[in-house]
Structure 1
Amino acid sequence: MTALGGVAMVTTCLADLSSVADGFGLVYGSSVTRDARTAPSDLDFVLVTAEPLTDQLRATLATGIRQAHSGHGLPIDQEVPYENKLTATYEDVAAACSLTCFPQLGSQQARPVTESDPYLYSEDFRLRLLLNALTTPHALIWGSIEALSTATAAAEQAVARLGLMLTMPTADFTAEPLVEALLRSPAGAEGKDYLGFSSPVHLFGVVSRGLAAMSDAGLVAPAGAGLWRFDSAGSQS
């Protein structure tokens, strides 16, 4: 009854997807961060590929994931449908990083999530979950580390942009208020009920790297002593 056994079984399942030539598979969430001495949790997994999987391959993967859970005594998370979290494409990564899955950002808000919410079945939530998988602690168990690194770098910059859009600073700023806005909504929603982030330290690193990438792109600039400012054009996009 271990997450490790479940992960090993998932990698065996992935070996059967020999026709998938390009991509990467991640385990993320509590199964990555949870101590081995605590109760087992479900395996959060996503397979990201250049092209969409066929229906048959997607069904094979879903069956393998379910068997990995049942074969190792792991609970299965039924809140989010498998169709919304097991597979994605590079195009989906780009869509998630565009932040169009947060339509309320114009009013400096990100929609909270509640259990049994029909929103869990939406395309917006599927992309939010993918962005979260790439920017929370995760483990590569299959595929290209280079492709993962590229996707993670884009996702980290997107999360930094998300933090800026939630806070809209008008003067020099630090990463800290962005992290706080990403961790908790103004109404107090947090964790899986909000944006899925739970580790302030890890998220601080994500936002800091994202701001550095934005600096390389000329969108923000370091202002000394951990401060950042927008470029001369004042771009916040």
Structure 2
Amino acid sequence: MVDETGTATGYFFNALYQAYVHRKTGVLTATNQKETVAIFIKEGVLIHATGFQEKILLGYLLQNKGLISEKQLAECLEQSIAENQSLGKTLVLNGYITIDILTAMIRKQAVLTVAALLIWPDIRFEFREMPSSEDAIIPVRIDILGTIYEAVRRVEKISIIKRYLWDPAFVFGKVPVSNPDAIRLTAEEAAVLEQVNGNRTIARIVEKGIIGENDAYRCLMILFSIGRIELLNA
């Protein structure tokens, strides 16, 4: 069953956040005219992501860290395709890497994947609740909020951030959270959060000059993406 679909990046962040809060199990897909990315979630935790030639990206990350050789990678790539299983599972079963190493690399891969989604044009998102099928993978447990947090920090182009914050006339309000220290904010992010009062527009917060304009927009994007603030008049 399709639970929700949307085209705005705000939907993407909200779908991930709701999956985290309500411990949902399912698949969030992002599609444009050329590619599809699938993010697999189990009980509110990211366990796997496919797309952006994930086998090649994972292999590159492992090789770049000196954790596997070019020969080992080539052998495992061929085996994983033949046996229809993930490259990570093949590498672990063959004893080339540990599950801890796989978890760290898949977390890095997930951050790069989510960051890449932020610059996709004409993107459509869809979340489906469904049972988790893990036969072809070794599921790892990746914190969704932490992944979003790091991914947004990688976005440097202010034009992209402004586009996803919609209209400067929109107003943000703070979201009550039970554990505000779950993700530690930087001093700049905390300063911008203090300016959010349910009345100030995005433009007014930026104009306050607490920090530079680009950094203010980036901090607002981060705070929104991890569920610390919400749009009140969108």
Q: TM above 0.5, one fold?
A: no
Q: TM-score, normalised by structure 1?
A: 0.30
Highest relative contact order (Cα 8 Å, sep 6+), 1 or 2? 2
